[in-house]
Structure 1
Amino acid sequence: MSQQMDSSLVLKIAEKFFIKGNPVTAKRVGSGHINDTFQILTDSLNEPDYLLQRINHYVFKDVEALMQNILIVTEHIRAKLIKEGAGDVYKKVLTVVPAKDKKLYYIDENSDYWRVYVLIDPTQSYDVLETEQQAREGGRAFGRFQEQLTDLNSNSLKYTIPDFCNIDFRLKNFHQAMQRNAALRRDEVQNEIEYIIQREDQMRSILQMAERGEIPLRITHNDTKFNNVLLDKGDKALCVIDLDTVMPGYVAYDFGDAIRTIINHAAEDEADLTKITLNIPLFSAYTDGYFENARHFLSPHEIESLIEGVLLFPYMQAVRFLTDYLDGDIYYKVHHKEHNLQRTRAQLKLAFEVETHREELNSIIHTMANKHLIHIQ
């Protein structure tokens, strides 16, 4: 899909939806890597503005299921907010705007898929956390999101990306890439391969807990980057966004994914591994905020699984980067020949730091659980 698109064409697509007022301005917004997003302003001063998104149907192959998932989740949350008497409900949950043919999306003449949400404004988001207050709000937002969906049957949602967080699936792909050795790079990454293989069994801990029936399958977000939380001007969490990967999962997945993106002092692809150290204050703040809302539903076993999620996610991301490196960089965009290897080493260093500080991090989890009056057996 082209990164450039004439604004008049975007406005014509916006007219295919049940928006109030006439669309007059289209402006590209956002920092997402999957979908193209435009802010649509209308000529009506008394009605909301909108977000128009082109859905990447190469990543999300079943757009019908994707949009049904989002509608089910947002309407479930909306009903709860209304019942609670929450003010400004439209600011606290995404609102899907249907197309004029009554579908939740529109297909243009190029076979591209589009959707529209009501614009939540004014808000702000951050690609990188800057304060403990922001980390705490992120924890509150994702804890609240999970809590709001605890009584929604996980079977009501489809898997938009099957096996997205399944480490068995990721390791299977990794071993196949080793066998193929398509880019003739296997011999140069023996240390990284050995590190991954040595930890395969322990990284199955969440799946093993599920197999023993210790943790339930819930509805989880599965992409808990901090920029998927909208905050007000005072940095208070308003709404969780980017619901494309909302599907059945385990709470430790969301917790681990969030921690992976906030606990690293350095960038995801930092070349200088000495810079990769843990930001413990941000970890503590996020965990504190998370338990504030998640304490209402978490079981003791789920609490015990959280540290396993923290261990799993940098490891799993390293597996994915190294798989792509062995295959010749066919999935992730790279900026130089060894970019995926650089990413792999950075994530393995982060995994090592988490592993080294496991007891300290788990102690913080238990301390915060006790603070919020959760009794761990």
Structure 2
Amino acid sequence: MQNSKNIAEVVSHFNCTANPESYKPYGSGHINDTFFVKSTSASGPDYLLQRINHRIFTNVEKLTENMQRVTSHLQAKVKQEGGDVLKEVMTLLPATDGKFFYQDSEGSYWRMFYFLGDTKSYDVVETPKQAYEGGKAFGRFQAMLADIPAGEMFEVIPNFHNIQKRLQHLQDAIAKDAFGRVASVAAELDIVNKYAASMQYFQQPENVAVLPIRVTHNDTKFNNVLLNSDDEAQCVIDLETVMDGYVAYDFGDAIRTIINTTTEDEADLSKIQLNMPLFEAYVKGYLKEASQFLMDAEVNSLMKGVLLLPYMQAVRFLTDHINGDTYFKIKFEGHNLQRARAQFQLVKMLDANAGAMQQIILNEMDSYKTAQY
């Protein structure tokens, strides 16, 4: 639990005009603790102060190097396009020692950003325009980073999207059963086993051989896009998981949060339906920006990512439930199990509609190819 004395001590180590007395919790993230802090100046700027969960992000210095590399690259691209860097790219503030993070006396790591005012984010997408703008935002983000060579980014969380590793973690949790919860999740484990073999696409050698590794966001929940007052994309945020990956991972995670007609932890599974107009809108926005660099193999892999990411997220939630809820923040006992059930239901719905969704992707990509000739 933070208090104004803790916050004041941290803020004093950053080059800013933040008023530590003004802090308040901000956002709905599962991992880090984020606070909005007003400026002592009426004209701003205001700030976001974030305590990094270093149990999960164990190498804060390398993580920060990644963020600096990516934000600098994005800032250069935005300047070339005549955009507003301070509005379109998250900007880290340096600490008084020149680093872009600070470690306090209790061992916690902190960072600060300029707060992007007059923006909003959505946990649940409400309109096709929002979905379209989200697609544009993540497509543009990938396109602007496409010229960073693979292998230059630090792997912040090893095997983050490796489903084989995630399934092994689940098996380890089952074997330990430290909280005696395995017996109560037999139905969920049956679903895991039903889909496990079909989720190995990105580990199969023939696919690995043709899919390029690119710099990707790796946490493309829709609430990681800030929209302006007109619901137009302004900035992609939450950059700590930016590292090498496949574009289908980003595409799949975005669709996971956009297409669902309710929240990712919905208890009433009958409410989990597919909002296909939002899917089509996202595809249009995404390919408007990403069609310029995507290879055919990547386009063909996008639907594989759509199926994989909710399945993987369900496996992660289920693993954390069995392990006693040590990774994701929970609001009540059984929250991670509820999340897992909701994501498994989403997988079932997506699997039943995968053919039609793949055709939407291919048709939209064909329209961009035709326009180029």
Task: Report if TM-score (shorter chain) is over 0.5.
Answer: yes
Q: 1:300 and 1:108, CA in 2 relative to 1: closer, same or farther beyond 3 A?
A: same
Q: Which residue, out of 244, 249, 252, partners 1:248? A: 244
Q: Which residue, out of 196, 212, 215, partners 1:219? A: 215
For the residue of structure 2 that corresponds to 1:219, the secondary structure is strand
**CA apart distance, 1:333:** 4.3
CA contact (8 A) 2:123 2:263 kept: no
Structure 2 residues not aligned, in runs of 5+: none
Give the length in aligned residue pairs.
370
CA contact (8 A) 1:210 1:216 kept: no
Q: Which runs of structure 2 are paired with 1:3-82 in the superposition (5 Å)?
A: 4-6=2-4, 8-19=5-16, 21=17, 23=19, 26-28=22-24, 29-44=26-41, 48-82=45-79
Q: 1:94 and 1:332, CA in 2 relative to 1: closer, same or farther beyond 3 A?
A: closer
In the alignment, what sits opposite 2:282? Answer: 286
Matched, 1:110 2:96: no
Task: State which drifts further: 261-270 or 137-146.
Answer: 261-270
**CA apart distance, 1:243:** 0.4
| Per-residue deviation, residues 37-90 of structure 1 (Å, max 9, x unmatched) | 23333344566332222222222111101111100000011111112222x221
Q: Which runs of structure 2 are paired with 1:311-350 in the superposition (5 Å)?
A: 311-334=307-330, 337-350=333-346
Task: State which drifts further: 67-76 or 52-61.
Answer: 52-61
**CA apart distance, 1:334:** 4.5
For the residue of structure 2 that corresponds to 1:164, the secondary structure is coil
For the residue of structure 2 that corresponds to 1:162, the secondary structure is coil
In 2, the alpha carbon distance for the partners of 1:121 and 1:370 equals 38
For the residue of structure 1 that corresponds to 2:64, the secondary structure is helix
**CA apart distance, 1:356:** 0.6
Q: Percent identity?
A: 47
| Per-residue deviation, residues 249-283 of structure 1 (Å, max 9, x unmatched) | 10010011111111111332323222221111111
Q: 1:276 and 1:100, CA in 2 relative to 1: closer, same or farther beyond 3 A?
A: same
Q: 1:126 and 1:197, CA in 2 relative to 1: closer, same or farther beyond 3 A?
A: same
Question: What TM-score do you get using the length of structure 1 for normalisation?
Answer: 0.91
Q: 1:44 and 1:195, CA in 2 relative to 1: closer, same or farther beyond 3 A?
A: closer
In the alignment, what sits opposite 2:119? Answer: 123
In 2, the alpha carbon distance for the partners of 1:279 and 1:293 equals 22
Q: 1:18 and 1:326, CA in 2 relative to 1: closer, same or farther beyond 3 A?
A: closer
In 2, the alpha carbon distance for the partners of 1:209 and 1:321 equals 28
Structure 1 residues not aligned, in runs of 5+: none
CA contact (8 A) 1:10 1:26 kept: no
In 2, the alpha carbon distance for the partners of 1:201 and 1:90 equals 45
